[in-house]
Structure 1
Amino acid sequence: MTRLRVIKPVVDLLRSPKGPRDRQLLFGDPVDVVDETDGWSRITSDKDGYPGWVRSDQLGPEAQQTHWVTAPATHAYQQPDMKSPDRVSLSFGSKLCVLSEQNRFLETELGFIPAIHAKLSTTHLTDPVAVAELFLGTPYLWGGNSRFGIDCSGLVQAGLLACGIPCPGDSGDQERELGTALPAGTEPKRGDLLFWKGHVAWVYGENMLLHANAYHMDVTFEPMDQAITRILEQGDGPVISHKRL
């Protein structure tokens, strides 16, 4: 087994070589490589134990992670100057190895990133719902895990991992492993999770959900009673679980 990391901004984690996407990995994510064949690597993601296949050229040697991106997204510039050419875009949650700090920019192997867009790797945020809110308007993407495209379970995972709370990648595993199940009729409160078969949503506030969903095709607010009725009427069933973290 070899320890490597993701060296591209966003990488699809596939079910098989050239197969369908199950999840995504972000720049700097550590992985364990357990097999290699024909330019493909079978890996296990360090952040949640998710297995899958990525192209071998999307991986590189480990490096000390000093910072992580806490803005919804950021650019790496050619110079420590916002008017210099931008080289690449990175999503919230990307992990960085900072070489120096210059003129309010962090020097990395990719270029210079605004210092205001990152925090030390030892820093955890405190409100997973506020983290999820950073993704408002992000396009819905099945299996997505970035600011450039995300799905319902990716949105939950982004919020929890940013706050130092372990979280699996799929909504079914999240329903089984996260929080405490509450009796039917319990009044939802901010930070609770509502689960349907194949879907999960954050409770944002009184009668309000925040979720990535294929109906709106983005991350959006939706009145809770409206969402429950809509999902039932479109044939995806009732709420199956109400969990409190």
Structure 2
Amino acid sequence: MRTFIPISELDNNPYGQSESKLFGEVAERLIFQDFSSSIDLTPEQSFMDNGHREENLKTFLVNNNKRVTRDAVDQFVTWCKDDKLMRFPDIMIHTDQCREFYEIKPNSRAGLSAGAKKIGILKAVYASYHLPYTAGRQYNPALYRCLAKYKHSIAINLRVQMADYGLLVYDLWVDYDTNLSEKQDPLVYRVMLIDLIRYVVFGKLKTAEEISPAPIMISDKEIEFIFSQRLGTLSKQA
């Protein structure tokens, strides 16, 4: 069986943490990885918002636009900041055939709304300053990537798709064996799956220097520990 896990459910934790935001950082790394392997570009032809973004954006704009000087880019950034219009797209492409930008958001009402608003601002700003970038179409992932597996019983998957030009959205889906879930109350089992997602994302993926394309294989011992912890917590609350 397959079930959708809203990213926002990760925030229902006792730690007061915005885990959905932390997961977004992991999702962006995975999308950057897919983007880099899907489109053949030189480092100068792409920008990804993965650190030192202001300096990297300035360098990208100067290197790819012959009539744009460093002084002009500095002035552009200053004006955008003064007008509270400074936005950094998550991905930009500049080739002879393609000059595009992309924004990455969770597949939720709030994510779609924020993404549409940001893309509208970017389109207006780039048009106003005669920069040639439009909302992207070339990178259109149909990505359904298995992040982790427990035997043939549970698979945690990241899905990425284009919601609109330039707007890439991600969500989580879990495939699981119904024979395994029938042993627990459905709501309890769902909470246990979310605990497992937290363990995989924050215990494995977030701390990894490089994320392997192969799924993480979860052991019997790990499953027993994660699920027994949740059952112990629920029994104390009962």
Fold conserved between structures, TM > 0.5: no
Q: Which has the higher strand share?
A: 1
Highest RCO, 1 vs 2 (Cα 8 Å, sep ≥ 6): 2
Report the TM-score, using the length of structure 1 for normalisation. 0.29
When normalised by structure 2's length, the TM-score is 0.29
